[in-house]
Amino acid sequence: MSKYFGTDGFRGEANVTLTADHAFKIGRFLGWYYGRNKKAGERCRILIGKDTRLSSYMFEFSLVSGITASGADVYLMHVTTTPSVAYIVYTQNMDCGIMISASHNPYYDNGIKLINASGEKMEEETLLKVEAYIDGLAGEVPLAKGADIGRTVDFSDGRDQYMNFLQSLALKSYEGKKVGLDCANGSTWMIARKVFENLGAQVFVINDHPDGNNINKDCGSTHMEGLCRFVVEHHLDVGFAFDGDGDRCLAVDEKGNIVDGDGIIYIYGRYLKERGKLIGNKVVTTVMSNFGLYKALDAIGIEYEKTAVGDKYVYENMANNGYRIGGEQSGHIIFKKYATTGDGILTAIKIMEVMLARNTSLSQLAEPFKKYPQKLENIRIMDKETVLADPDIVGKIRAVEEALGENGRILVRGSGTEPLIRVMVEARDEDICKKYVDSIIDTIRKKGYEA
């Protein structure tokens, strides 16, 4: 189990749990590690992208200092999305990639995500080596000297290459379509509008004025209310909301209704099946997917896998089995044929593909998928493992499971990125959901675990 790197990178409050010194050490180790076996005349090449947080610049410069001090070259994509970094690392044969972002977290948090040469999340074995170096358990690595010191290269052209790739995936023009985009004041603000305008859409954009502190603030895929109103008020055909680093997408239909990750998996999975392209006749979901999704999939004869929460685990399942579509309710959707990670803009393009191919609205495409009422509440705690092992809490959870039977479910888990316990209940009635979520949260509080 990694000490610093969770399911989505090394994440924490900037200069509190994640510091510039951490970033420098990560850069020092990666520059040496990927450059140590290079032949004479070859240079290690590491790509860095970042989101719009104020602290992202601090971490970028710290990483650059560490990497170049170890003799590797750094290529800077500047403000860009996580999936664009993964794409460029793979297509340009970089040694690895780094994305500076805390995704959907508030601006004061940040994160460092490591990507391997295949454009995938870095393997656990390498992460453990990085952590050992951070903690001083792996010895020091040599400093480069003279002409061996690394250099920094502006690689903003990588964004254009990525946008050209996205645009190449659209099978039809978007001419005549009115599309709303919520860029969450994050990484997509310079990319999403251009992609959709180049594809012919009439584009309406909100939350595309980042100031370093407003990323994800009451906007984007974690705050959908604004986009829902915006779509209805401007009579748009569809809306798409991204998160801070652009690897999530949630949609809004023309009536202002949210189509979440489960709905997107249903729509595109059905589209693939109808064309005979759903490999294994399966989609990949997580344990957080809604009961309603499984009932809708059962109705059309599509099977499904369930993984732990995290697009890392969804991707591993897809890669091991060759499945083409999978993701999370939160909007991390992976289209394995085209990407190695969740990609918000790519997801929006694939939804547009189904709408245009079927010549129908998003509301009609999503209509067969009926969500079960769901209540999800987070409680901030000090020690996730202690809470989840407490016999009183375990017993309370089992009692709720028995009470719900086959008419619902409860899921209590620790967040992979924050000091939170997440309590989720699905049932046929919203009052039942609230009752059982409250009972678990109250038990945790009474036991004194709340931070």
Q: Per the residue annotation, which of 55, 56, 70, 103 is the catalytic one?
A: 103
Q: What is the pLDDT of residue 354?
A: 98
Q: What is the pLDDT of residue 400?
A: 95
For residue 120, give the amino acid letter. Answer: E
Q: Report the alpha-carbon distance of residue 443 to residue 243 in Å, rounded.
A: 32
Active site residue 84: no
pLDDT above 90 coverage of the chain, percent: 90
The domain 374-446 belongs to what CATH superfamily? Alpha-D-phosphohexomutase, C-terminal domain (3.30.310.50)
The answer to whether the CB of 259 falls within 8 A of the CB of 251 is yes
Residue 121 pairs in a beta bridge with 115
Q: Report the alpha-carbon distance of residue 314 to residue 332 in Å, rounded.
A: 9
pLDDT digits (tens, 9 = 90+) for 123-179: 999 999 999 999 999 899 999 999 999 999 999 999 999 999 999 999 999 999 999
- Residue 190 CA to its chain's centroid (Å): 18
Q: Does residue 329 carry a pLDDT above 60?
A: yes
Are domains 5-157 and 169-366 of this chain identical in fold? yes
The residue extents of the domains of the chain are: 5-157, 169-366, 374-446
5-157 folds as Alpha-D-Glucose-1,6-Bisphosphate; Chain A, domain 3 (3.40.120)
Q: What is the pLDDT of residue 409?
A: 87
Class of domain 169-366: alpha beta
pLDDT digits (tens, 9 = 90+) for 100-128: 999 999 999 999 999 999 999 999 999 99
User: 245 among the known binding-site residues?
Assistant: yes
Q: What is the pLDDT of residue 167?
A: 98
Q: Report the alpha-carbon distance of residue 317 to residue 319 in Å, rounded.
A: 6
The confidence band for 288, taking pLDDT boundaries of 50, 70 and 90, is: confident
pLDDT digits (tens, 9 = 90+) for 73-104: 999 999 999 999 999 999 999 999 999 999 99
Please state the rounded mean pLDDT for residues 419-439.
93
The answer to whether the CB of 292 falls within 8 A of the CB of 262 is yes
- In order, the DSSP letters of 243-254 are -TTS--EEEE-T
For residue 414, give the amino acid letter. Answer: G
Q: What is the pLDDT of residue 1?
A: 54
Q: What is the pLDDT of residue 407?
A: 80
User: 208 among the known binding-site residues?
Assistant: no
pTM for the complete prediction? Answer: 0.89
Q: Does residue 347 carry a pLDDT above 60?
A: yes
Element containing residue 412 per DSSP (H, E): strand 408-414
